[in-house]
Amino acid sequence: MEGIKARIEGDGIKGSVEFSLEEAMAHPRAGKPWAEMNVDEQAAALKEYALWLYSRQDGVTGNATVTLERGTFAVTRDRDV
């Protein structure tokens, strides 16, 4: 399981969420299947999921910038998604 940490900042928001790549891939979304997305589209989907997860946990919404990092809760390996 690959861990991802998303730092979220902006409009009075400063926080982070951690989630697995598999969790984000399984989250329902409109558009292409994950395997058909290019790297930029996958990054955008991960950022969108991070914002959704953060707002669900903290009830905060608004304009925010999301920065993706490797998470701390799981060992990460190089792999093709």
pLDDT tens for the chain, 81 residues: list them.
578 999 999 888 889 999 999 999 999 888 899 899 999 999 999 999 999 999 898 777 678 899 999 876 544 455 554
Q: Would residue 75 count as lying in a domain? A: no
Range of the domain at 32: 3-70
User: Coil, helix or strand for 67?
Assistant: strand
Q: Would residue 81 count as lying in a domain? A: no
Q: Would residue 59 count as lying in a domain? A: yes
C-alpha distance from residue 69 to each of 30, 34, 36, 81 (Å): 24, 19, 22, 16
Asked whether the beta carbons of 26 and 74 are under 8 A apart, the reply is no
How many separate domains does the chain show?
1
User: Coil, helix or strand for 54?
Assistant: helix
Q: Would residue 28 count as lying in a domain? A: yes
Q: Token pair of 49, please?
A: 């999921």
Q: Would residue 45 count as lying in a domain? A: yes
